[in-house]
Amino acid sequence: MTKKQLVTLIFYMFVTACSSVYQQQDCGKEGNNECQNGAGGYVLIEPKIDEDYVRKYNIPSLQLYKNKLSILNTGNWKKGDLTRQERDEALLECGSSDIWMSKNYALMKTLTPDEYNGKLLLIKRCMLDDGFTFLGDFSPCESKSIPACDLPVPKRETEKRLNSEYCIKNAYLTRCQPQSRERIINTEQCKRYPKAYFCDV
Model pLDDT, residue 42 = 67
Sorted by where each begins, the domain ranges of the chain are 1-45, 51-169
Q: Is 171 left (phi over 0), alpha (psi -120 to 50) or beta?
A: alpha
Distances (CA, A) of 62 to 47, 49, 122: 14, 8, 20
What is the chain's pLDDT, residue by residue, as a tens digit (201 residues)? Answer: 555 444 444 444 443 444 333 333 334 433 444 444 545 566 767 789 999 999 999 999 999 999 999 999 999 999 999 999 999 999 999 999 999 999 999 999 999 999 999 999 999 999 999 999 999 999 999 877 899 999 999 999 999 999 999 999 999 999 999 999 999 999 999 999 999 998 876
Distances (CA, A) of 78 to 52, 128, 188, 200: 31, 10, 32, 33
pTM, rounded to two decimals: 0.76
The candidate with the shortest Cα–Cα distance to 134, out of 90, 100, 93, is 90
For residue 156, how many other CB atoms are within 10 A of its CB? Answer: 17
Query: Which pLDDT tens digit goes with each residue over 82-113?
Result: 999 999 999 999 999 999 999 999 999 999 99
Distances (CA, A) of 175 to 26, 78, 117: 37, 17, 25
